[in-house]
Amino acid sequence: MILTVTMNPSIDISYPLDELKIDTVNRVAEVSKTAGGKGLNVTRVLAEIGDNVAATGLIGGTNGEFLLQNLHPNVKQCFYNISGDTRNCIAILHEGKQTEILEAGPTITADEANGFLHYFKSLMESAEVVSISGSLPAGLPVDYYASLVELANQAGKPVVLDCSGAALQAVLESPHKPTVIKPNNEELSQLLGKEVSEDLDELKEVLQEPLFAGIEWIIVSLGANGAFAKHGDTFYKVDIPRIQVVNPVGSGDSTVAGISSGLLHKESDQELLIKANVLGMLNAQEKMTGHVNMANYQALYDQLLVKEV
What residues act catalytically?
253
Site string for ligand ADP, 19-58 (x = CB under 6 A): ----------------------------------------
136 or 281: CB nearest ligand ADP: 281
Task: Based on the shown chain and the rule CB under 6 A, indicate whether residue 252 belongs to the binding site for ligand ADP.
Answer: yes
Pick one of 14, 86, 251, 260: the residue that binds ligand ADP (CB under 6 A): 251
Task: Answer for the pair 176, 151: CB distance below 8 angstroms, yes or no.
Answer: no
- The C-alpha atoms of residue 120 and residue 151 are separated, in whole angstroms, by 8
- Residues with Cβ within 8 Å of residue 204, at least 6 apart in sequence: 230, 235, 309
Task: Answer for the pair 255, 262: CB distance below 8 angstroms, yes or no.
Answer: no
User: At closest approach, how far in Å is the CB of 205 from ligand ADP?
Assistant: 20
Task: Based on the shown chain and the rule CB under 6 A, indicate whether residue 277 belongs to the binding site for ligand ADP.
Answer: yes
Written as one string, the DSSP assignment of 48-113 is HTT--EEEEEEE-HHHHHHHHHTS-TTEEE--EE-SSPPEEEEEEEETTEEEEEE---PPPPHHHH
155 or 249: CB nearest ligand ADP: 249
User: At closest approach, how far in Å is the CB of 253 from ligand ADP?
Assistant: 7
Task: Based on the shown chain and the rule CB under 6 A, indicate whether residue 196 belongs to the binding site for ligand ADP.
Answer: no
Task: Based on the shown chain and the rule CB under 6 A, indicate whether residue 226 belongs to the binding site for ligand ADP.
Answer: yes
Task: Based on the shown chain and the rule CB under 6 A, indicate whether residue 260 belongs to the binding site for ligand ADP.
Answer: no
- The C-alpha atoms of residue 54 and residue 46 are separated, in whole angstroms, by 10
Pick one of 17, 93, 243, 288: the residue that binds ligand ADP (CB under 6 A): 243
**What torsion, rounded to 10 degrees, do the Cα atoms 139, 145, 149, 155 define?**
30
- The C-alpha atoms of residue 244 and residue 219 are separated, in whole angstroms, by 24
- The C-alpha atoms of residue 198 and residue 227 are separated, in whole angstroms, by 9
User: At closest approach, how far in Å is the CB of 285 from ligand ADP?
Assistant: 8
211 or 224: CB nearest ligand ADP: 224
User: At closest approach, how far in Å is the CB of 283 from ligand ADP?
Assistant: 7
- The C-alpha atoms of residue 42 and residue 81 are separated, in whole angstroms, by 21
Judged by the rule CB under 6 A, the positions of this chain that interact with ligand ADP are 184, 221-224, 226-227, 240, 243, 245, 248, 251-252, 255, 277, 280-281, 284
